[in-house]
């Protein structure tokens, strides 16, 4: 079924207005802001002026807990105002790394999130969700259409504009990075490899790189889905430095790390860290709006 542009609007949470506007401009559809406030008792007060038959609700789920209930309230209003279809565009999808109970007594937060949000949406579109033990987003959002976009084409475009310094190699810091490392490297005509990783704690990892892979004198492009504490990329950089590489830079889909952690990455040898604007961050260098717009045109048959 095709969707007419007149039947479509993007509805954004206040903190998402800028990236949502970039998407609305790409799709040439109206942008509606969710008005958020508080009742005197601290509960969320929410108002929406209008809705379209097909609503794209834009909410990037970094720092997620205070966003989730307002998101549900917004979706409930969209339904009451006549939206027949609600697509949640969450460029960053939270709790995807808590995909099992790592210790007795922990929640499987990924599954809980899916159960909480699924009744309120018809479709979810996200970028590089952390699909590791759970391979398919459909297993998280049961009964909801899901679209998990790869950031690999964006990384590839960025590398294409770069001055690659000498002989380059793309490296993923763990086995989970294999798919996007391979996709980026093959499109760019650069060799690639992945490290193996053992997580020792929230901030501590042990990495290994096959000794047969030479990085000596090479320009290494590290690629990962998320930088959170920076522990993984810092350990990768230290290992690469010890193996004599010439230069290290890093590309990530989602940057969650603090300024102090960016400084630590520099100390570890990462000369430059660049990220997509799925999460607003000082390292943003790649806009995701064109990727999202292409996917939505395809999925909604615009």
CA-based nearest residue to 223, from 183, 277, 269, 164: 183
Token readout for 255 is 């940057």
Output 16 or 174, the one with its CB closest to ligand R5P: 174
250 binds ligand R5P (CB under 6 A): no
To ligand R5P, the closest distance from the beta carbon of 199 in angstroms equals 8
User: For residues 229-248, which are near ligand R5P according to CB under 6 A?
Assistant: 229-232
Selected from 228, 275, 276, 283, the binder of ligand R5P by CB under 6 A is: 228
277 binds ligand R5P (CB under 6 A): no
Report how many residues bind ligand R5P under the rule CB under 6 A.
14
Neighbours of 38 (CB within 10 A): 9
Selected from 16, 174, 249, 277, the binder of ligand R5P by CB under 6 A is: 174
176 binds ligand R5P (CB under 6 A): yes
Question: Which region, judged by CB under 6 A, interacts with ligand R5P, from 53-61, 140-148, 184-192, 227-235?
Answer: 227-235
Q: How far apart are CA 56 and CA 232, in angstroms?
A: 34
Selected from 16, 99, 128, 225, the binder of ligand R5P by CB under 6 A is: 225
User: For residues 71-130, which are near ligand R5P according to CB under 6 A?
Assistant: 97
Contacts with ligand R5P, residue ranges (CB under 6 A): 97, 173-174, 176, 205, 224-232
């Amino acid at each position: 079924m095709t969707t007419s542009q007149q039947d479509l609007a993007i509805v954004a949470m206040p903190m998402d207005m800028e990236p949502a506007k970039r998407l609305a401009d790409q799709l040439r559809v109206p942008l509606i802001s969710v008005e958020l406030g508080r009742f005197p008792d601290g509960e969320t007060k929410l108002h929406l002026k209008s809705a379209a038959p097909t609503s794209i609700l834009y909410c990037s789920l970094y720092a997620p807990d205070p966003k989730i209930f307002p998101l549900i309230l917004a979706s409930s209003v969209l339904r009451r105002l006549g939206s027949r279809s609600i697509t949640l565009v969450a460029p960053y999808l939270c709790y995807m790394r808590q995909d099992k109970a790592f210790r007795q007594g922990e929640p499987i937060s990924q599954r809980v999130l899916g159960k909480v949000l699924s009744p309120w949406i018809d479709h979810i579109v996200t970028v590089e969700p952390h699909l590791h033990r759970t391979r398919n987003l459909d297993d998280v959002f049961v009964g909801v259409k899901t679209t998990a976009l790869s950031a690999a084409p964006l990384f590839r475009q960025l590398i294409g504009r770069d001055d690659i310094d000498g002989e380059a190699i793309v490296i993923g810091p763990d086995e989970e990075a294999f798919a996007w490392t391979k996709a980026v490297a093959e499109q760019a005509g650069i060799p690639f490899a992945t490290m193996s990783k053992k997580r020792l704690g929230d901030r501590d990892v042990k990495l290994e790189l096959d000794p047969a892979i030479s990085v000596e004198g090479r320009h290494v492009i590290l690629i990962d889905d998320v930088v959170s504490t920076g522990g993984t990329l810092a350990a990768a950089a230290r290992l690469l430095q010890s193996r004599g590489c010439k230069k290290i830079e890093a590309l990530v889909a989602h940057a969650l790390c603090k300024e102090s952690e960016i400084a630590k990455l520099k100390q570890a040898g990462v000369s430059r860290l660049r990220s997509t604007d799925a999460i607003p961050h000082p390292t943003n260098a790649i806009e995701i709006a064109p990727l999202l717009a292409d996917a939505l045109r395809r999925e909604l048959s615009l």
